[in-house]
Amino acid sequence: MATRRATTAPYRCTECGWTAIKWVGRCGECQQWGTVVEAAEQTGIVRSVAPVAPGAARAARPITELDTRDTPRRSTGVAEFDRVLGGGLVPGAAILLSGEPGVGKSTLLLDVAAASARAGHRVLYASAEESTAQVRLRAERTGALHDELYLASETDLATILGHVDDVSPDLLIVDSVQTVSSSLSEGLAGHPGQVREVAAALIRTAKERNLPVIVVGHVTKDGSIAGPRILEHLVDVVCHFEGDRQTALRFVRALKNRFGPTDEVGCFEMTGDGIAEVPDPSALFLGHGDPVAGTCVTIALEGRRALPVEVQALTLEASGPNPRRVVNGVDSARVAMVLAVLDQRAGVRLSGHDVYVSTVGGVRLVEPAADLAIAIAIRNALHDEALAPGVAVVGELSLAGEVRPVTQASQRRSEAQRLGYRTVVDADSRTISGAIGDLGRHTRRVPRQPSVRDEPPAF
């Protein structure tokens, strides 16, 4: 009887490891396009971990004998970026910065490069998307000119590494990893194999030279980092640069950080002269002027920062059988839940009213701690009442009408007191009805301004 010889599948997916006996354009397991490659294909990752001759490698040492003073942090010159990195750049660190097109990644990194150059550190900025003349024009506009800032416009990995040998920089910035290609890997730039090879070579250079490397990464339509998932595993820090194009505010968040916390947020503002730090963004999300009906201030958390955010609500008698529910800056599902709780647990009838809820300054509230503030704003808008200045509301609402405690309540309270809020209503009220009652002594009625529909027609 003939024995059937086992064969190895010659193709596998670089994302999930799914194997196939022939090449396909789309993985049958994770449904990703262009990730199926030959299983025998050698990459820079495999070559980098190849065994060396005995005695050639440095001997392993006990962890207690290692001195962290050999790797001191170094400031980038941009305090908000240092905050996200955990205090500054670590020698040999590989940092990946991603974000939507046009959000300001290149502008931010050019500012970081110029600040590091002013501090006496030589920086090599390798742009694979723009020419050196284009980068120079942006540098003139943002004031990022310095003799220690070197520019190179290259798409070939070997050429970029050659510039590293010539310049011997203290910081390397590559913009972007998806537009650089290597001759050691097949395929066009941006192919998963090319991205993996380029990233592995840059990380090897960072570790061998103790050279901090910052690379820019593209994102896909759903907001995830383009390329193989292994790219995020290889680097030490993954930062995401986000912001609404309709506003000038930008946030940098750390999604992964081997050298610091991942709950820090850097705040920036895009201006005509480039990008500017916003060390205290507390006043950006508050309205100005006298309190009006339907406004309520809550204390939201952005990373470790506690920020006051004003929630605004407006109610109108519905003109049709289906009342409108329009939200901006908050989750529509949570607003629908808050409306149901107000109706069933607090007796606030809104079935015949259009409800509009928005935040100030373009900030987006996604945490449940804003539930109570949304409820109070909607209720006060319906009854033409306004909270007195100096009152903040924090709390999560349950379907039973209870006001649940929120995370880091002490930090929220201390930030509210620092900003001048004398009263903070939170989970001590226990129920939504109790919270409305507690706020009654801080609420005053505001005369409703006549609307256009109330005015007599002009002839």
Highest mean pLDDT: which of 39-48, 54-63, 122-131, 273-282? 122-131
- Residues 252 and 296 grouped into a single domain: no
Residue 459 lies in a domain: no
Pairing mode, strands 213-217 and 237-242: unpaired
Residue from 371, 294, 316 nearest 340 by CA: 371
Residue 7 pLDDT > 50: no
Split at pLDDT 50, 70, 90, the class of 328 is very high
What pLDDT was estimated at residue 437?
86
- Asked if 199 and 215 touch (Cβ cutoff 8 Å), the reply is yes
The pLDDT, as a whole number, for residue 2 is 43
207, 230: one domain:
yes
pLDDT at residue 5, as a whole number:
41
- Residue range 269-295: mean pLDDT, rounded: 82
Give tens-digit pLDDT for 176-187: 999 999 988 877
450 part of a folded domain:
no
Residues 395, 348: one domain? yes
- The answer to whether the beta carbons of residues 215 and 177 sit under 8 Å apart is yes
Q: In terms of domains, do 209 and 349 share one?
A: no
Decide: residue 70, CB within 10 A, 0-12 exposed, 13-18 middle, 19+ buried: exposed
- Please compute the mean of the pLDDT values over residues 155-163 and round it to a whole number: 95
Which range of 4-8, 30-34, 57-61, 65-69 scores highest in mean pLDDT? It is: 30-34
Q: What is the mean pLDDT of the segment spanning 343-352?
A: 92
- Residue 145 in this model has a pLDDT that exceeds 80: yes
User: Which residues have a Cβ under 8 Å from the Cβ of 429 and sit 6 or more positions away?
Assistant: 395, 403, 435, 437, 438
* Domain identity same for 239 and 320: no
Is the pLDDT reported for residue 155 higher than 80?
yes
Q: What is the pLDDT of residue 3?
A: 42
Question: Using alpha carbons only, what angle is made at residue 284 by residues 278 and 286, rounded to the nearest 5 degrees?
Answer: 155
What is the arithmetic mean of pLDDT over 58-73?
74
- What are the tokens at 22? 């022939």
| Distance of alpha carbon 184 from alpha carbon 179, whole angstroms | 15
Q: Has residue 453 been placed in a domain? A: no
Is position 456 within any domain? no
Among 182, 187, 183, residue whose Cα is nearest residue 36: 187
pLDDT band at 208 (very low <50, low <70, confident <90, very high): very high
* 412 and 304, same domain (yes or no): yes
| Residue 35 · residue 27 · CB < 8 Å | yes
Cβ atoms within 10 Å, residue 98: 25
* Structural tokens at position 87: 């205090």
Do residues 116 and 260 touch, judged by C-beta distance below 8 A?
no
Is there a single domain that holds both residue 381 and residue 403?
Answer: yes
Higher pLDDT, 55 or 34: 34
Domain assignment present for 451 = no
> Which of 62-66, 238-242, 307-311, 328-332 is least confident?
62-66
pLDDT at 57 (0 to 100): 53
Residues 224 and 356 in one domain: no
pLDDT of residue 48: 43
Give the total number of structural domains in the chain.
3
Residue 67 belongs to a domain = no
Domain containing 311 — which CATH number?
3.30.230.10
Amino acid at 357: V
Q: Which of 232, 261, 279 is the last residue of a domain?
A: 279
End residue of a domain, out of 257, 279, 301: 279
CATH number of the domain where residue 178 is located: 3.40.50.300
**432 vs 401: CA distance, rounded Å:** 6
Lowest mean pLDDT among 66-75, 126-135, 378-387: 66-75
The structure tokens 């203290």 sit at: 170
Question: Residue 239 in contact with residue 254, Cβ under 8 Å?
Answer: yes
Same domain, residue pair 290 and 427 = yes
Percentage of the chain beyond pLDDT 90 is 50
Domain-ending residue, one of 279, 305, 333: 279
Mean pLDDT, the chain, as a whole number?
A: 86
What is the extent of the structural domain holding 318?
Answer: 283-445
Tell whether 197 and 338 lie within a shared domain: no
Collapsing DSSP to helix, strand or coil, 156 comes out as strand
Residues 6+ apart with CB under 8 A from 168: 122
Q: What is the pLDDT of residue 249?
A: 83
Interacting residues of 294 by C-beta distance below 8 A, sequence separation 6+: 312, 313, 314, 315, 377, 378, 380, 381, 386
Consecutive H or E run containing 172: strand 171-175
In terms of Cα–Cα distance, which of 75, 74, 78 is closest to 275? 78
Residue pLDDT, tens place only, 73-114? 899 999 999 999 999 999 999 999 999 998 999 999 999 999
What pLDDT, on the 0 to 100 scale, is given for residue 41? 47
Predicted confidence (pLDDT) at residue 455 exceeds the cutoff of 90: no
Instruction: Say whether both 320 and 391 belong to one domain.
Output: yes
Rounded distance, CA 240 to CA 253, Å?
A: 5
Which of 68-77, 133-142, 209-218, 435-444 has the lowest average pLDDT? Answer: 68-77
- Residue 405 or 61, more confident: 405
Question: Quick check: 355 pLDDT over 70?
Answer: yes
Write down the pLDDT at residue 420. Answer: 84
What pLDDT digit, counting tens, does each position of 356-371 carry? 999 987 788 988 999 9
Q: Are the beta carbons of 241 and 97 closer than 8 angstroms?
A: yes
Is residue 435 one of the residues assigned to a domain? yes
Of residues 295 and 53, more confidence is placed in 295
**Are both 223 and 361 inside the same structural domain?**
no
> In the predicted model, is pLDDT for residue 50 greater than 50?
no
pLDDT over 70, % of the chain:
89
Residue 118 lies in a domain: yes
- Residue range 308-326: average pLDDT? 92
Per-residue pLDDT at 162 exceeds 90: yes
Supply the pLDDT for residue 320: 85
Predicted TM-score (pTM) of the model is: 0.75
CA–CA gap between residue 229 and residue 395 (Å, rounded):
37
